[in-house]
Amino acid sequence: MQVLISLLGAVALLLWGMQLVRQGIIRAFGADLKSAIGMSVANRFSALLVGTAITTLLQSSTATGMMVASFAGRGLIATAPALAVMLGADIGTTLVAQLLSFDISWLSPLMIGVGMLASASGHSYRTRALGGAAKGLGLMLLSLKIIVMTSSLFRESAMLKVVFAALADDYLLAIIFAALLTWFAHSSLAIVLLIMSLVSTQIITLELAFVLVIGANVGAAIAPMVAAMGEGVAARRVPLGNLLFKVTAALLLLPTLTIVSPFVASIDTDMARQVVNFHLLFNLLIAIIFIYLIKPVASLTEYLLTEPSTEQQSSLQSRQRTRYIDDQYLGTPSVALGAASRETIHMGDVVERMLALSYDALHNNDLQAAKTALAMDDEVDALHEKLRRYLSAISRAELEQVESDRVTEILVFATKLEHIGDIIENMAATLSKQIENKHVFSSKGRDELLYMHSRVHQHLKMLLGAFLASDQRLAKHLMTQQALVSELEEAGMSAHIGRLRDGRVESLETSAYHMDLLRDLGYINSHILSLALPLADSANLRESVQ
């Protein structure tokens, strides 16, 4: 059991090292990598080369696949060149496996030391990012050494002998096992390196290793498929095409293993090297076969995944309301936080539109405006949930303190906006009931509500402007308006009570509505001021307000 735990820990260390390398490279060169993908669409061969180069740097065809699928989903790259990039990505991950198959574990302490030094004392953001990548590479080399050492202890394990014997007797089961393992790890590279270590310690046969490598390649196409499930049709076509590549190559290669194995052995007699050479051969075969069939495969994916009708597309878009956040930015926290900030403003625009509609409902007795505002709260809730998940994903990366603080700031801002949306929903429900029951506010009562409403609406616009521009002066000015709305609320209540004493029929019929609206407008303004406070210079502001 202790040996198994050590092996799992070493695999986890390998995955962590790969994540550090990927994060470091994306932080240092993320914009350049995206530009390279955008410029690679000239022809299929340049797209293949770009895919190879990017994946060699990122050490993850899954990361490249998600990036390309995102581009395709936004119409920045057509399906055919996107599939060519994926062919290159699959070759890129084999080149990394080739490098790591050599015994260069002696570099591990040096890479970790250099990485720690650059991360801690680097003067530029790029230097610190590359330091993180170097540290990750050092951890990968260390983990591979541990995996090889630990794997040798499994030779006498009766349980593993039974498991691997069952896999050797059923190649389909072996492929499914390796595919699921790769999907779980989100890394074919890690699984291929694990298979290599099992072969080098003679725990599994070479032929079984080849079958497991085929399964790992098929599994590598599953993760992008799952990740793109919630995306548009164009984004899902890229991972589907890549999966078709892998499954077709597996079907072609599996029956010919007895012929392929001697050929692989003739290249290099070292068994561990034969595993990574077979991995390279598998993906080269895919590239050679499909580089000239890119357009037919793209057409097939378009046939299998058709664009929805205009009515269906409109309904789909209504459920997918985010405009700026994109998973491809997650590897670059500064870019992801910028996208989250813009999405928060988009959410604020929806809330502001709800407030404007509630004004129309109050001013014109417009039932449709009230119901529209009521329904829009679902949109606010959906945006808030997607933002919350996106910020949670950002926070899982290794953030600098200023980035971590910004995550908290955006999350608090978005949460308060969602609360404001809930209050406006209550106002819209109140107005709907008032209009449906044909109750009419007194002219003075309605004017008081409209004036207070317009001031709160103005404050919300100022708040969104201060957040967007990080305008401390505007936030301070907004805080000075605190007493005004409170005075309007108190004056409105006193005037309404006076009309009740006078026996005004309209006031008696609308009293509950009137008091609820005054209260809700006051709550909204309190939330606005609580959000303005962190944007302003709190110490100076409190002195000026007091």
Q: What is the pLDDT of residues 392-427, one digit of tens each?
A: 888 877 777 888 888 888 999 999 999 999 999 999
pTM above 0.75, yes or no: no
Provide the pLDDT for residue 165. Answer: 84
| pLDDT per position as a tens digit, 128-150 | 888 888 888 888 888 878 877 77
Which candidate, 95, 99, 92, places its Cα nearest to that of 137?
A: 99
Which candidate, 347, 456, 463, 344, places its Cα nearest to that of 409?
A: 344
Homologous superfamily of the 322-545 domain (CATH): Phosphate transport system protein phou homolog 2; domain 2 (1.20.58.220)
Average pLDDT over residues 457-471: 88
Provide the pLDDT for residue 318. Answer: 47
**C-alpha to C-alpha distance for 184 and 191, rounded to whole angstroms:** 10
**C-alpha to C-alpha distance for 23 and 60, rounded to whole angstroms:** 11
Query: Is the predicted pLDDT of residue 21 greater than 90, yes or no?
Result: no
**C-alpha to C-alpha distance for 263 and 425, rounded to whole angstroms:** 70
Query: Is the predicted pLDDT of residue 538 greater than 70, yes or no?
Result: no
Highest mean pLDDT: which range of 173-177, 185-189, 304-308, 511-515: 173-177
Provide the pLDDT for residue 330. Answer: 76
Is the Cβ–Cβ distance between 52 and 92 less than 8 Å?
Answer: yes
Residue 38's pLDDT band, with cuts at 50, 70 and 90, is low
**C-alpha to C-alpha distance for 175 and 11, rounded to whole angstroms:** 20
Is the Cβ–Cβ distance between 51 and 36 less than 8 Å?
Answer: no
**C-alpha to C-alpha distance for 171 and 178, rounded to whole angstroms:** 10
Higher pLDDT, 166 or 201: 166
The three-class DSSP label of residue 222 is helix
pLDDT, mean over the chain: 83
Number of residues that this document lists for the chain:
546
Query: Is the predicted pLDDT of residue 523 greater than 50, yes or no?
Result: yes
Q: Where do the domains of the chain lie? A: 2-304, 322-545
Residue 197's pLDDT band, with cuts at 50, 70 and 90, is confident
Higher pLDDT, 535 or 275: 275
**C-alpha to C-alpha distance for 100 and 241, rounded to whole angstroms:** 28
Query: Is the predicted pLDDT of residue 3 greater than 80, yes or no?
Result: no
Query: Is the predicted pLDDT of residue 546 greater than 50, yes or no?
Result: no
Question: Which of 7-16, 110-119, 374-383, 431-440 is predicted with the least confidence, judged by mean pLDDT?
Answer: 7-16
Percent with pLDDT over 70 in the chain: 89
Average pLDDT over residues 79-106: 87
Provide the pLDDT for residue 152. Answer: 65
**C-alpha to C-alpha distance for 61 and 277, rounded to whole angstroms:** 18
Average pLDDT over residues 83-96: 90
Is the Cβ–Cβ distance between 361 and 370 less than 8 Å?
Answer: yes
Region for residue 187 given its phi and psi (left: phi exceeds 0; alpha: psi -120 to 50; beta: otherwise): beta
| pLDDT per position as a tens digit, 237-291 | 999 999 999 999 999 888 888 888 888 888 888 888 899 999 999 999 999 999 9
Provide the pLDDT for residue 226. Answer: 80
**C-alpha to C-alpha distance for 482 and 494, rounded to whole angstroms:** 19
**Distance from chain centroid for Cα 446:** 46
Structure tokens belonging to residue 234: 């164009």
Percent with pLDDT over 90 in the chain: 20
**C-alpha to C-alpha distance for 451 and 444, rounded to whole angstroms:** 11
Structure tokens belonging to residue 531: 């959000």
Which candidate, 462, 447, 238, 420, places its Cα nearest to that of 362?
A: 447
Which candidate, 112, 188, 177, places its Cα nearest to that of 143?
A: 112
Query: Is the predicted pLDDT of residue 312 greater than 50, yes or no?
Result: no
**C-alpha to C-alpha distance for 489 and 451, rounded to whole angstroms:** 11
Provide the pLDDT for residue 424. Answer: 93
Average pLDDT over residues 59-88: 81
Burial class, 387, CB count within 10 angstroms (exposed 0-12 / middle 13-18 / buried 19+): buried
Residue 305's pLDDT band, with cuts at 50, 70 and 90, is confident
Provide the pLDDT for residue 155. Answer: 61
Average pLDDT over residues 163-183: 88
Give the angle subtended at the CA of 394 by the CAs of 393 and 395, to the nearest 5°.
90
Sequence-separated (6 or more) residues with CB below 8 Å from residue 113: 138
Query: Is the predicted pLDDT of residue 112 greater than 70, yes or no?
Result: yes
**Distance from chain centroid for Cα 297:** 28
**C-alpha to C-alpha distance for 465 and 473, rounded to whole angstroms:** 11
Average pLDDT over residues 67-84: 80
Q: What's the chain's Rg over C-alpha atoms? A: 30
Sequence-separated (6 or more) residues with CB below 8 Å from residue 55: 61, 63, 64, 88, 89, 90, 91, 92, 93, 96
Query: Is the predicted pLDDT of residue 213 greater than 90, yes or no?
Result: yes
Burial class, 487, CB count within 10 angstroms (exposed 0-12 / middle 13-18 / buried 19+): exposed
Query: Is the predicted pLDDT of residue 319 greater than 50, yes or no?
Result: no
The three-class DSSP label of residue 232 is coil
Provide the pLDDT for residue 327. Answer: 72
**C-alpha to C-alpha distance for 100 and 143, rounded to whole angstroms:** 11
- How far the first Cα of the chain sits from its last, in Å, is 66
